[in-house]
Amino acid sequence: MSLPSKFPKTFKFATATAAYQIEGATRLDGRGISTWDEIRAEPGRIHDNSPADLSCEGRLKYKEDVDLLARIGVTSYRFSISWSRILPDGTLSKINEDGVQFYRDLCLLLRDNGIEPIVTLFHFDMPLAIYDNGTSWLNRENCDHFAAFANLCFERFGDLVKTWITFNEINMHAWSSVVKIEGELWLCPDRPQVENHSHAPYIAATNMLLTHAKIYQDYNKNFKEQQNGVVGITMGGRFCFPASDSSEDIAAANRANDWLFNYTIEPILSESGDFPVSMREKLPFLPKFSEEEKKLIRDSADFIGINYYLSHMVRNISDGEVPTSQHERDASYAFVEGKWDKICGETWVRYAPDGLHELLKYVKQKYNNIPVFITENGCMDLIGDDEKKEEEDVLEDKHRIKYIAGHLEALAKALEEGCNVIGYTVWTLMDNFEWDDGFAVKFGICRVDFDSPDKTRTMKHSAKYYQTFIREFKKHHNIL
């Protein structure tokens, strides 16, 4: 039995992008200023020092990109809607109809090509005016503005979009994109530190969870019956294994899973409607939910998305030890180098399909086998590939094919064991702006020639592998 035939007929095979990473055209359509426009304007913030206006130009080339998606054969395409392109200042004071029309045109074109649009409402880029209104998610008023934006999207796109994701990786965003935290990634505008900034990630994540729940309940109340869609939320999935069989390391791994995964999903999927017990024990300042808020949050997801790139080995920390990052210090654990292959060279990604398999079994057991969509999985080009003189050398990404194939095998195994996996998404469709790394790190299954005025797209061998895989899957189920 071939690997493609092990997936059920309803399984979604997708690829994905995020609005800020591919769209460009930052002044087109009356789009407002984003936090990332501000970050790129700050000297030294982007590691490759690339020009602030460099882009894939996906806003202008969306027809070509949909054609590329159709050639690859994906059943679904996950993309995000830029809050700034729809609401220039982040509020309903001005609705940018040109921006609305762009996303409608994109969804219609996807539909005409037999590709399901899967929309993420928040994928790391926020209107700058909203960020500066009380430091993003630390201000509940900003949460209300985002809920209003979500409702507007349901109104304007809900006839075309049936799968919605409210937030991409609340935990990651809370730690890196709200305030500057020592030892964490710095992915927010340079602003004076807020009071009690070490508490900020926990406050921001709490506010985002409550906002997600409000959006979910609003959809069910006002749109579900007519539009018949589903609403989920995407988590970062980095499964943590104990570095040894000692009870101390096992407990540390459990705490690490609480901080890195359960923190932003347990309030939604547990009967308690609350954060993990280990976090309550260690963080007396952790925001408390009222009974009304617990009721709002509990069961507020039709599915969960998981972005999976690696797993971790962790150990308990010794007395007096001070780990690098705040979340390690808060949770009393430390990362150690694991057993997994550095498949892309000296980068943070690891080839750990066994970790994905274990994570899916963990979700099945802990969270009543809720439907899981793998909303991102992929790896970057090998370090140094950009310096190769022959384009064919860059396109021949055998390591990425190994990475994708290994994780598809892990999914097939999980499905055989009864895990409720409904889809898989390769990150990403094309080389693009990789946040603070700029364009130096390339995750695309399609190459973009950034030196060309046309920003020419070319399928790498991994895209052709995925194309063949999906074709065999469709042939097996007679859905070509």
- What's the mean pLDDT in 46-58? 97
Strands 372-376, 421-427: pairing kind: parallel
Taking the CA of residue 330 as centre, how many other CA atoms within 13 Å lie in the half-sphere pointing to its CB? 23
Cβ(206)–Cβ(268) below 8 Å: no
Ranges of H-type helices in 8-96: 19-22, 35-41, 62-72, 83-86
Q: How confident is the model at residue 386 (pLDDT cuts 50, 70, 90)?
A: low
* Mean pLDDT of the 457-467 span: 98
pLDDT at 353: 98
Catalytic entry in 57, 169, 266, 293: 169
Residue 387 has a pLDDT of: 52
Express each pLDDT in 350-364 by its tens digit.
999 999 999 999 999
Identify the domain containing residue 285 by its residue range. 3-476
User: CATH number for the domain including 133?
Assistant: 3.20.20.80
Token pair in block for residue 115? 């590709």
* Distance of alpha carbon 376 from alpha carbon 426, whole angstroms: 6
Residue 34: DSSP 8-state: B
Q: Percent of the chain at pLDDT above 90?
A: 93
The pLDDT of residue 100 is above 90? yes
Instruction: Please write the tens of the pLDDT for every residue from 157-195.
Output: 999 999 999 999 999 999 999 999 988 999 999 999 998
AA identity, residue 123: H
Q: Which residues pair with 120 in a beta bridge?
A: 80, 165
Distance CA 352, CA 356 (A): 7
- The answer to whether the peptide bond before residue 428 is cis (omega within 30 degrees of 0) is yes
CA atoms in the 13 A half-sphere facing the CB of 98: 12
Residue 391 has pLDDT above 70, yes or no: no
Residue 219 has pLDDT above 80, yes or no: yes
pLDDT of residue 1: 75
346 a catalytic residue: no
User: pLDDT tier at 153 (50, 70, 90 boundaries)?
Assistant: very high
The predicted model gives 290-311 an average pLDDT of 98
What are the Cα distances from residue 479, in Å, to 2, 10, 12, 109, 115? 17, 10, 12, 20, 13
Determine the pLDDT at residue 397: 96
Q: Specify which residues 79 forms β-bridges with.
A: 119
| Number of structural domains found in the chain | 1
Write the DSSP symbol of residue 223.
Answer: T
Residues paired with residue 316 on neighbouring β-strands, in sequence order = 333
> Whole-prediction pTM value?
0.98
How far is residue 58's CA from residue 272's CA, in Å, rounded to a whole number?
Answer: 43
Hey, what are 446's tokens?
């399609």
Whether the CB-CB separation of 188 and 136 falls below 8 Å is answered with yes
Q: Write down the catalytic residue from 23, 184, 376, 434.
A: 376
Residues in the chain: 480
pLDDT number for residue 383: 74
- Name the nearest CA neighbour of 447 among 387, 391, 383: 391
pLDDT of amino acid 196: 84
> For this structure, is 169 an active site residue?
yes
User: Does residue 389 surpass a pLDDT of 60?
Assistant: no
